[in-house]
A and B are shown apart, each in its own frame.
Chain A
Amino acid sequence: MNVLRIAALTWHETRRARALLAGIALTAIFLGFFSWGVSAAASEFGRARPSPLMALASQSQIDFASIIWGQVLSAGLYGVAGIGALLAIFLGAPSIAREVETGTLQLLASRPIGRWEIVTGKWLGGCALLVAYVGGSGALACASVWYLTGYAPGSPILVVAALSIQVVVLHSLTIATSSVLPTITAGIIPVILHGIAGVAGFGERIGTLLDSAILKKTGIIASLILPSDVAWQLAASQAQPPNPLPALGFNAPMGPFDVISAPSPWIAAYALVYALAGLGFAIWQVNQKDL
């Protein structure tokens, strides 16, 4: 019960600080621009003369339109995932560190409430906010593309679930760093790690294209250190139709957001264990801490 009280407090703080309103307003603007772009692309796509690539695709019985709209949807989701990742870090960095620095945590911790309840409540409140954010905006991006182009991913729920895993992983890591480091450092570390994971993810895709074992291995190791980019890849792979090129003998992506080979669903389980480990570390740290 106390966990839910603290979680509700996180929601309340975000709302009172107008962060929720600002987030919703700016995301609405982003989705508005995205939908306008999709609408413009859809009308252009209908008028365009078939390109040689389209003709080749048609001969090979490839649904070229689905591939294009899958890429367009992935571009929108890439924006949602990027904003979600930053929000996960911004929300997590001060959650424990700032409260320890200002002494706000002292008042809560002197009450008949376990420190684990405070940390878990903050984590839960943050995760709920972030999942609501990526869930809501991811679903709106899918709905917009479906309405304007008729394309819908195989399972929009899996897309949203994968996006949610990414923000939960990053938020959990940031809560863990926030339990041991000052606010700024607690935020910088996940930003850099997330950046490294993103670059390593690109490296892995290039490695797949070039069949380079070292590049592929680098990506896998980075995914294990921080499974945030791999969660994005999972979302992107769910947002697009299967890539037909490998079946035709070409190990190449169909576009900038194609993942060539979809990550194993087990990575989702690993990411969730990773998130729980981050939470567990934060609880352990706060339990040890002199406030």
Chain B
Amino acid sequence: MGSLAIETEGLSKSYGRKHATASVSFSVASGTVFGLLGPNGAGKSTTVKMLVGLVRPSSGRARVFGLPPENADARQRLGYVPEQFRFPEWLRAQEFLRLHAELAGVLTTDRQSEVTRVLREVGLEHREHDQLRTFSKGMLQRIGIAQALVGRPQLVVLDEPTSALDPIGRRDVRDLIVRLRSEGVTVLLNSHLLSEVETVCDHVAIMDRGRIVRSGSVAEVTGGHLEVEVRCAGLTDQAVRALESRWRVLRPGVSEGSSEPETLTISVMSESEAPGIADVLVSGGVRLLALVPRRRTLEDVFLESVTTIDGDDIASVSARR
């Protein structure tokens, strides 16, 4: 692992008595892709804005390439696509990108070639001379990504970069992120699309209610945690209690004594625990119909890690449905 592109320590932001983030600490190694996950209102965008110097932390500190985010040298090495923003739509694509090339410190002689390069990166080279007001929502999102790439930044911060894109556009952005990583560029990706994050990110942090509740490499976050999906009939409370004494069990609400088959999800540390689950169920008089071990996806971990607005955990809410 090389030097750190991003480092935060106890980063907190409060608006009055409301805490947008509370003691957020993580680091992102240079040349890696880092995914920031979390439900709406988890504090992801606030964290990102503190990293690019748009929001001042109430306490804690952030460093970008070892420098405070408001430092001009740090910003010179950074490209950013905000989550919600409107473009100066009266500008043509080329004018908009040239302005950002100027502000990013690209030499006058290199500006046109840089504009052409980033337009090609996002597949909009044929719209160079069109006013942004004529662009579709997806095309505007692409132009937003293009401006973040102007000046070949070493860190690209993408806050929900694919929310307005169609499946092809999303795939293009995924390919772009992979390409950037291969060029040694660090990418911080803030996204709701968990499959997208799982595909391209090396490390992830899951935020909930302003805190990081889980972080690590994608393998660390999803690995080491297996699930066994059990389909059975005649399940009794006694058998469920026996299972719960050894494992974490998610059971959708089904009335006791129902003869309808039901499905349980049981967290295990390894597949070798599956026969033990079968033993507990069979000895409890439960008819075992199927028992399938499966590795958890990032989405499973995400749902288990975050809470809903009223404080219940999402997994148990899903299970109750």
Instruction: List residues of A whose CB falls within 8 A of some B CB.
Output: 2, 5, 9, 12-13, 16-17, 102-104, 106-114, 290-291
Interchain CB contact under 8 A, B103 and A5: yes
Contact A108 B103 (CB under 8 A): yes
The answer to whether A104 touches B85, judged by C-beta atoms less than 8 angstroms apart, is: yes
Chain-A contact segment, one of B47-55, B176-184, B199-207: B47-55
Within B71-86, which residues are at the interface with A (CB < 8 Å)?
A: 72-73, 75-76, 78, 80, 82, 84-86
Confirm or deny: B170 has a beta carbon within 8 angstroms of a beta carbon on chain A.
no
Asked whether, in the complex, the Cβ of A104 is within 8 Å of the Cβ of B105, the reply is no
Most buried by B among A9, A102, A103, A107: A107
A-chain residues with CB within 8 Å of residue B147 when the two chains form the complex: 107
Chain A residues positioned under 8 Å from B53 (CB to CB)? 109-110
C-alpha gap A110/B153 in the complex (Å): 12
Tell me whether B44 is interfacial, beta carbon within 8 Å.
no
Contacts of A113 in B (CB 8 A): 72, 103
Q: Are A104 and B90 in contact (CB under 8 A)?
A: no
- Contact between A102 and B103 (Cβ–Cβ < 8 Å)? no
25 A-B residue pairs with Cβ-Cβ distance under 8 Å, sorted by A, are A5-B99, A5-B103, A12-B95, A13-B88, A16-B90, A17-B90, A102-B85, A102-B86, A103-B84, A103-B86, A104-B85, A104-B88, A106-B49, A107-B82, A107-B85, A107-B100, A109-B54, A110-B52, A110-B53, A110-B78, A112-B73, A112-B76, A112-B103, A113-B103, A290-B54
User: Which residues of A sit under 8 angstroms from B100, Cβ to Cβ?
Assistant: 107, 111
Given contacts A5-B103, A17-B90, contact A106 B85 (CB under 8 A): yes
Counting chain B CB atoms within 10 Å of each CB, which of A102, A104, A290 scores highest?
A290
What residues of B have a CB within 8 angstroms of the CB of A5 in the complex? 99, 102-103
List 8 additional contacts besides A9-B88, A16-B91, A106-B49; criterion CB under 8 Å: A13-B88, A103-B86, A104-B87, A106-B80, A107-B80, A107-B100, A110-B75, A291-B49
Separation in Å of the B213 CB from the closest CB of chain A? Answer: 24
Chain B interface size, under 10 / 10 to 19 / 20 to 34 / 35 or more: 20 to 34
The answer on a CB contact under 8 Å between B103 and A111 is yes
The answer, yes or no, to whether B192 is at the interface (CB within 8 Å) is: no
CA gap between A108 and B100 in the complex, in Å: 8
In the complex the two chains form, is B102's CB within 8 Å of A106's CB? no
Q: How far is the CA of A102 from the CA of B100 in the complex (A)?
A: 18
- Please tell me if the beta carbons of B90 and A290 are within 8 angstroms of each other in the complex: no
With a CB–CB cut-off of 8 A, which chain B residues contact A107? 80, 82, 85, 100, 147
Task: Decide if A106 touches B54 in the complex (CB within 8 Å).
Answer: yes
How far does the Cβ of A96 sit from chain B's closest Cβ, in whole Å?
A: 14
* A247 → chain B closest CB, angstroms: 56
Q: Is B56 an interface residue (CB 8 A)?
A: yes
Tell whether B104 is near chain A: CB-to-CB under 8 Å.
Answer: yes
In the complex, the answer to whether B56 meets A290 with C-beta atoms within 8 Å is yes
The chain A residue sitting closest to B72, CB to CB, is A112
CB-CB nearest in chain A for B76: A112
For residue A82, give the distance in angstroms from its CB to the closest CB of chain B.
27
For B103, list chain A residues within 8 Å (CB).
2, 5, 108, 111-113
Complex contacts, B87 vs chain A, CB 8 Å: 104
Q: With a CB–CB cut-off of 8 A, which chain B residues contact A106?
A: 49, 54, 80, 82, 85
**Measured between alpha carbons, how far is A111 from B53 in the docked complex, in Å?**
10
Contact B55 A291 (CB under 8 A): yes
Measured between beta carbons, the chain B residues less than 8 angstroms from A16 are 90-91
In the complex, are the beta carbons of B54 and A110 less than 8 A apart? yes
Q: How far is the CA of A113 from the CA of B78 in the complex (A)?
A: 12
For B52, list chain A residues within 8 Å (CB): 110
Cα distance A114–B103 when bound, in Å? 11
**Contact present for B82 and A103 (CB under 8 Å):** yes
* Cα–Cα, bound, A17→B90 (Å): 7
CA distance A104 to B90 in the complex (A): 13
Residues from chain B with a CB closer than 8 A to the CB of A108 are: 103
- A191 CB, min distance to chain B CBs, angstroms: 25
